[in-house]
Structure 1
Amino acid sequence: MDPTRALIRTALNPTARVAPGLAGRAAFELFAHPLRRSRVRESEREVHGRAEVERLTVNGKAVAGYRWGGGERPVLLLHGWRSRASRFAPYVSRLRALGLSAVAFDAPGHGDSGGRTTSVLEFRELALQLQERYGPFEAVVAHSLGVCAAFGALADGLSAGRLAAVSGVSGVGFFPAAFCAGLGLNAEVERALRERIERELFGGDAGGWERFDAVRRVEAVGGPVLVVHDEGDRVVPPSEAHRLRTAYGERLDLVLTQGLGHRRIIAEPAVVDQVIGFVSAGTEAAA
């Protein structure tokens, strides 16, 4: 048994029964904090070193942005939780060969960016900032949490021809339930955490859950969607992918893999081929 998880569970579960506000605040601090930063892997170092580094800011936090290419015909890359932009290194050269630029960022608390915490709202804000610099995107390629942020941003003003979603979360409501389940926290803690999220992130608006649920805003997301998900994903279950498929119907192509899990899948050559093929089909259609 993980002693840290056991300690958190022992502290928060009884607290939520007598002081739900205190438990919710403590759970939120853990929920919003990635705890550790991913480093650039050796296989990513050469591509990462070729990026033009840009500076972005969100909620007073300094954010590292990256650009490969001159910014023409941009493709936005959105990483996942406890990840970083360099994880998309296998995609960059392929995108450049198509005449596309790749743009990305390390979210706050991730990679080379400042801050200790972040949220799906900050992902959305940073994506919109990059759109202001480079104009509409040819496509968005996203992984995990980045998928949820991409759907939310596309429904709130981000313009992109198509979306490739790898191991994605379909709605922000998934996160508090998964967080509490992973730590063995009870229903009282989850309820307190959801209330804290509504207060801190949604300004007290319970409708925030729907605004960041791709299934409830299908009409606001234009263009074709590719979803790639592993059947054995233990972090984000494939039911999230099937939920999207049911909602988007023929607009969405679903590709299921086996044995790639949640993190390895993003750099798997066959998956890179699938995503690049999907993106290039959009460029051919535009031409």
Structure 2
Amino acid sequence: MGFKEGIRFITLKSVGQYINFLSYVNPEKAAQLSYALFSQPREGRLTKESLPQVLKNTRTEIFHHNEHEFQTYTWEGNETKILLVHGWESNAARWQKTLPHLQKSGSTIIAIDAPAHGQSSGKEFNVPLYAEFINKAVEKYHPTIIIGHSIGGAACVYHQHLYPGTSIKKMVILGAPSDLQTLINNYISMLSLNDKMIPLLENRFINRFNFKLEDFSGKKFASNFTIKGLIAHDIDDTVVAFEEGEKIASTWKNSQFIATNGLGHGMHNDELYQKVVDFLFSEV
């Protein structure tokens, strides 16, 4: 663990201790603070003035959805359209290494900035809202392919569950979590939150989204999918456990699963991308 990571670790533990203290004296405040920490990204913002090079020569578009605005970037190509959905504390620029592989197909490629990430508005990130952003983009661009990384992959899976009859024919999921419960458990463990905090945090989700944590499961959602899927997950992923990818693949009838080794959570690898391209364009 480096110095910066060490400081962050100590800070998280201190915050966790404070939330644990609040759980006894002000449970509502403790739940509010713990949810805010869980849902507010600390990294991934972009400004128009300092866009990464990869996003500069794109056609950009801003969508309005209720009180939200979200940003898309388009690399023009042929009529085949691919929608790219990034993960936590990231933005559309994360696809820089992926783009050259996809562009060989001549496809039009559209990348989206998640809620509270990139140039999209808001402070709070959550999967249901991300799924709504995805749906607006799907309705506008009619992509036949969607590719999601990490929690972006989970949002793609949730979107497919909510809106099964769209233009999407194939989905690629890289390093994605299956169960919201697993993410919450990881978060509770990271902050060393006490047992009193677990129901407080879970109730926060029930009240906010009107679903129980155990109902939010990629494994459950994928069991009804008819589109073709490719799920890839790295054995050494320390951010989202390998078993999460296996869960999604286990019930998805029309899918294939690729286990990689040594790529970590980022999943950037020429060999893997070649397999993705083969899945997308070589099959009859």
TM-score norm. by structure 1 comes to: 0.86
Aligned length: 272
> Structure 2 CA distance, aligned partners of 1:219 and 1:256?
20
Describe how 1:137-216 pairs up with structure 2 within 5 A. Answer: 137-157=143-163, 159=166, 160-200=168-208, 202=209, 205-207=210-212, 209-210=214-215, 212-216=216-220
- 1:87 equivalent among 90, 94, 102: 94
State the one-letter code of the partner of 2:104: A
- 2:109 equivalent among 97, 102, 110: 102
> Structure 1 CA distance, aligned partners of 2:213 and 2:192?
25
Describe how 1:218-233 pairs up with structure 2 within 5 A. Answer: 218-233=222-237
- 1:68 equivalent among 75, 92, 114: 75
State the one-letter code of the partner of 2:205: I
- Given that 1:75 and 1:101 are in contact with CA atoms closer than 8 Å, whether structure 2 keeps it comes out as yes
Identity of aligned residues (%): 24
- Given that 2:62 and 2:72 are in contact with CA atoms closer than 8 Å, whether structure 1 keeps it comes out as yes
- Given that 1:37 and 1:110 are in contact with CA atoms closer than 8 Å, whether structure 2 keeps it comes out as yes
* TM-aligned CA deviation for residue 16 of structure 1: 2.0
* TM-aligned CA deviation for residue 45 of structure 1: 4.2
**What SS does structure 2 have at the residue aligned with 1:75?**
strand
Partner residue of 2:262?
259
**What SS does structure 1 have at the residue aligned with 2:62?**
strand
Partner residue of 2:3?
none
Describe how 1:235-274 pairs up with structure 2 within 5 A. Answer: 235-248=239-252, 251-263=254-266, 265=267, 267-274=268-275
State the one-letter code of the partner of 2:185: A
> Structure 1 CA distance, aligned partners of 2:130 and 2:178?
15
Describe how 1:1-40 pairs up with structure 2 within 5 A. Answer: 2-37=9-44
TM-score norm. by structure 2 comes to: 0.87
- Given that 2:31 and 2:204 are in contact with CA atoms closer than 8 Å, whether structure 1 keeps it comes out as yes
**What SS does structure 2 have at the residue aligned with 1:112?**
coil
> Structure 2 CA distance, aligned partners of 1:102 and 1:209?
34
**What SS does structure 2 have at the residue aligned with 1:164?**
strand
* TM-aligned CA deviation for residue 209 of structure 1: 4.8
Q: Residues 35 and 46 (structure 1 numbering): CA distance in 2 closer, same or farther, change over 3 Å?
A: closer
* TM-aligned CA deviation for residue 70 of structure 1: 5.6
Gaps of 5+ in 2: 1-5
